[in-house]
Amino acid sequence: MVYYIYDGSFEGLLTAIYEAYYRHQNPEKILSSDSIQDNLFIQHVYIKADQEKAERVYSAIVHKISLAAAKKVLYAFLSESPDAATAIYRYLKLGFKLGKSVDSALADPYVFRVHALHKKVSQEAGKMLGLVRFRLLKNGIFYAPIEPDFNILGIIVPHFKRRMSAHDWIIHDLKRKIAAFYSQGQYIIVPFELSGALPLDEEEFDYQTLWKEYFQNIAIQSRINPRLQRQFMPVRYWKHLIEKPGTHDKA
């Protein structure tokens, strides 16, 4: 039994799919290097990421299946689910045979799985657009912490590039220790960690206080429905909402 092991990057996964095709092998699973479990009956084949090979596979997905399929594959990968890479491999293997009609083959467990992962990631990305809260720092940069379930930072950044193009800002995924830095029409996503408290601008404290008061005052007590609120805004997202109690950062 053969498992392909890649470095955890999207390019690494596409390279593994490339190698499976050109080596005429059919790996039982494709796993990231941090998911390996020792087993005497499994042969691990380590695949080194190759940008050129990855681009060839991505181009083949777009032209032989569809651009929509390429998006589904990327979103499924960003789910970070342990079975995502294998599901993507099987989905594409069938897709290169069926073309764009592969997305109608929902009876296939791997097609169904890729669709399900794509939906989950897409839904959280859409939800997160309304949950990002920026704080103004003393240096004039706007900073927003997030901790999404999925690796959606790269999906949501273009939205804020359009909406906040006149400001410099940072969106920081605390869970994955990465951040998007935006300035003058350009952004980059890099590894990033904060040490110490945020140096908030003095006006930011006043703004947060007013925002919390507004949020509390507009609430109609007789219509408050905690269960419905948790349905549309799960508790796990409350930590970084300025309007919720206990989220006031201190300098």
Full domain range(s) for residue 104: 2-125
Q: What angle do CA 67, 69, 71 make, to 5 degrees?
A: 75
State whether 8 and 113 are in the same domain: yes
Asked whether residue 251 is assigned to any structural domain, the reply reads no
> How high is the pLDDT of residue 226?
56
Mean pLDDT computed over every residue of the chain: 87
State whether 23 and 92 are in the same domain: yes
Type of residue at 245: P
Asked whether residue 245 is assigned to any structural domain, the reply reads no
Count the domains in the chain.
Answer: 2
Q: Render pLDDT for 4-38 as a digit per residue (tens, 0 to 9).
A: 999 999 999 999 999 999 999 999 999 999 877 77
Percent of the chain residues past pLDDT 70, beyond the cut? 81
* Torsion angle, alpha carbons of 118, 119, 124, 126, to 10: 100
Residue where one domain finishes, among candidates 125, 158, 190: 125
pLDDT band at 40; cut points 50, 70, 90: confident
Longest Cα pair distance anywhere in the chain, in angstroms? 66
Asked whether residue 247 is assigned to any structural domain, the reply reads no
Asked whether residue 97 is assigned to any structural domain, the reply reads yes
> How high is the pLDDT of residue 242?
60
Residue where one domain finishes, among candidates 95, 125, 155: 125
> How high is the pLDDT of residue 215?
54
Q: Render pLDDT for 219-242 as a digit per residue (tens, 0 to 9).
A: 555 555 556 455 555 677 767 766
The whole model's pTM is what?
A: 0.83
